[in-house]
């Protein structure tokens, strides 16, 4: 057991020394590089819905939520993704440099601090959400990994929103999970996971791409 603990401690120090990271590109252009050193979790996502503008948006956030940690940080906040643009997310064993995430207060200095603690969707909120007009007729999204795995998801009568994500957390520091789901309005209101279309694991050097086809 002591040998295992020493091995884990050595591996943790090795990760910190090499500064693993997640790099984000859009059509080959650098968007952000996130150092995973000291982080609890980092989530890069693309999400959208038929009743929202833009139809698809990119987000990247994470942090260290322990006492004395950096707290919640945002690297990308709802950046519009256009049809045909290719979002690429790569898990790197080492990155030479990284971008600094910002707090909500730094991103939105004019906003009042949020004091809300109850995020339950009540009947009035649900009625407002159901009454939103559809702004788009349909969507089709594509996901592919550097390992050759592929998936496509399209909207239909029941699935009116989508979520793609690459999630890394400190419990498995050499991997990241890729997911693609679609949701109906009832899923959103009930905070359920929706329909799963794709799952994969990225190791160091692997990448996943996302595209809003239409």
Is the residue at 83 inside a domain? yes
The Cβ of residue 42 has, within 10 Å, a number of other Cβ atoms equal to 23
Is the residue at 11 inside a domain? no
Closest CA to 188 of 147, 132, 135, 104: 132
The per-residue pLDDT of the chain, averaged, comes to 89
Residue 11 has pLDDT above 70, yes or no: no
**Tally of domains within the chain:** 1
**pLDDT tens figures, 115-139:** 666 767 778 888 888 888 999 999 9
What is the model's pLDDT at position 31? 98
Is the residue at 12 inside a domain? no
DSSP state at residue 102: B
Residue 210 has pLDDT above 60, yes or no: yes
My answer on whether omega of the bond before 76 falls inside 30° of 0, hence cis, is: no
Is the residue at 1 inside a domain? no
Is the residue at 109 inside a domain? yes
Domain that holds residue 99: 20-212
Is the residue at 185 inside a domain? yes
Average pLDDT on 7-23 reads 61
The model's pTM is 0.86
What is the model's pLDDT at position 85? 98
């Amino acid at each position: 057991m002591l040998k295992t603990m020493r091995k884990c401690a050595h591996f943790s120090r090795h990760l910190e020394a090499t500064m693993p990271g997640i790099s984000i590109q859009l059509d080959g252009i650098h968007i952000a590089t996130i150092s995973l050193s000291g982080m609890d979790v980092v989530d890069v996502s693309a999400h959208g819905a038929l009743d929202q503008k833009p139809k698809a948006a990119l987000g990247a956030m994470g942090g260290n939520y322990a006492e004395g940690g950096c707290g919640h940080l945002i690297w990308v906040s709802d950046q519009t993704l256009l049809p045909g643009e290719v979002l690429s997310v790569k898990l790197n064993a080492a990155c030479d440099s990284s971008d600094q995430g910002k707090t909500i207060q730094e991103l939105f200095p004019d906003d009042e601090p949020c004091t809300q603690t109850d995020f339950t969707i009540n009947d009035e909120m649900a009625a407002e959400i159901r009454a939103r007009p559809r702004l788009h007729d349909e969507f089709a999204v594509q996901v592919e990994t550097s390992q050759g795995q592929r998936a496509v998801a399209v909207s239909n009568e029941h699935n009116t929103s989508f979520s793609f994500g690459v999630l890394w957390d400190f419990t498995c520091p050499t991997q990241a999970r890729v997911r693609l789901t679609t949701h109906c309005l009832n899923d959103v209101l009930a905070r359920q996971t929706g329909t799963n279309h794709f799952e994969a694991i990225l190791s160091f050097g692997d990448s996943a791409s996302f595209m809003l086809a239409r």
